[in-house]
Amino acid sequence: MSRKKAVRIIFILISLFIGLVMVAQLMAKSRVANFLSKKVPKHIHLDYEGLTVNVLSGSIRLKEVRLDFYNPDTLLRHTSAIMEALNFKGLGYGNLLFNNTVSFRNVELLEPVIMHFPDDLLSPKNAAKTEEVGRDISIANFNIADGEYILMQQKPDSVKLKIDSFNLSLSQVGISTETLKNKIPFTYEALTFNSHDLFVDLGPYEVLKVAEVDLVQKEAVFKNITLTSKYNKRELSRILIKERDHIDLKIPEVLISQLDFGYDEGRFFLNIDKGIFSDPSLRIYRDKLVPDDFDPKKLYSQMLREMPLELDVAELKINRGYISYAELVTQGIVPGEIIFSDLDADLKRISNTKTTVKGDGTTIEINALLMGKAPLILNWNFDPQMENDAFLVSGELRDFNSKSINPFLISNLRAEANGDIKELFFTFSGDKVSSIGDMKMKYQDFGFVILQKNRGGVNKLLTLLGNIFTNDGSQADLNGYRYGSIEAERDVSKSFFNYLWLNVKEGVLSTLTGNGKQD
């Protein structure tokens, strides 16, 4: 064969190939367009401005896309997504022809704005229906780039959750008729997520904000978390019909390791191996002039036991925390404040799972400085599986100058304290009804001053009577200790920390005014 003839044959073959590719391109684009217009379910509306198909690379690109998902029964739109482009790359022809599977190497959503209306998602008529897919779908890599997500709530034009910017990557995504029966209608192997400026409306009074979230595999970092009241203190008091704390919580960083979540038998689960909260700051203010909230309060063991999800946290650590609590008791009097600084805490086995061994419950160890000076240690144990909400608390306080707490005592109890508590130890156990325990103290020159109602002077009579019954610390055992007992009845309308305070108060009063002897 001559060189000229060979070149002509090659040219013809190339031309034929190009022609076949062009025909295939046209046929593929026509079929894809026909599929998108006729085969998409009626409750899904799809609009797009441009369609590109590349047969050789097995790719499909939709530009300027809008997707609307409607409830088949109510015809109410529950989800909409507007995006710059929707890309499908690397169609697996072999899987399509021989394995009855639609597979792609990569699926990508570019700059989608997703809005979800969960109240319109399901109705009783269609809630039990199961979607079916003709073929299994397999995606090696699924990506959302520069997305925005908005979750609306029932109140018109009201945002429940908003993420200003996020990126999401999932590997080895699988969708089948079986997966569509699950709460999460697909399977995946690995997840990477990054977001900026997350906002959550927690209800009528508080909002949660997170500046940044990074989740790679099972390691997560949350930066600049804030949980704050929607109103300032005065505005909150004006709208409340019963007391509620004004909250200002800031956490610069939270690290989570071995994070796992999902659904098991229809119930959501959350597992964490370790969490570290760095430098959290919590300021709580309560206006006691607002009517009391007499609704029953659950202890933490009951809250954990009755959570609507399965929670299993092996350990949480708090490093360098700060807590302040202030109460407004009398109009015109500056609220006193109790402060816990340099707070380190270690919480273990925060779990309500069925695999938790009964009796091997939650333990909490706290170290802090009371009023910025006095070392405080608190140990707290409870078992969420115990229906009576039994618990054990022990603690110790050292080198406490009682004058440091006088701003709080003046505001709240119309009293001042004098003297130093060198050492204070207490232990008490109880349940959701009552508690008992004991206390021992080493102190000196301790006494109270009771103020007049306007706090402008000393009520000499009440001060005299009070100190008659208060031992100043001079009548102690050979080691300098006086002893007291603890007996407390829980007020079910108050929190656990009120219960804790009642026990400590009863112990202090018993130690100061009793015979001081060890039983």
What tens digit of pLDDT does each residue of 5-17 get?
Answer: 655 665 565 555 5
Q: Each residue of 80-118: pLDDT tens digit?
A: 999 999 998 988 776 666 777 888 899 999 999 999 987
User: Tens of pLDDT along 214-273?
Assistant: 999 899 999 999 999 999 999 999 999 999 999 999 999 999 999 999 888 778 899 999
* Helix (H/G/I), strand (E/B), else coil: 372: coil
Query: What's the pLDDT score for residue 460?
Result: 46
d(CA 160, CA 177): 31
Residue 25, CA atoms < 13 Å, CB-side half-sphere: 12
Q: How far is CA 46 from CA 145, 185, 412, in A?
A: 20, 21, 63
Measured distance CA(221)–CA(255) in Å, rounded: 5
DSSP secondary structure code for residue 30 in this structure = H
Q: What pLDDT digit, counting tens, does each position of 152-191 carry?
A: 987 656 899 999 999 999 999 998 888 877 878 888 999 9
Distance CA 478, CA 513 (A): 19
The beta-strand segments (E) located in 176-216 are: 190-201, 206-216
Res 464: pLDDT: 46
Report residue 65 as tokens: 């896309």
pLDDT of residue 154: 74
Distant-in-sequence, close-in-space partners of 16: CB < 8 Å, separation ≥ 6:
none
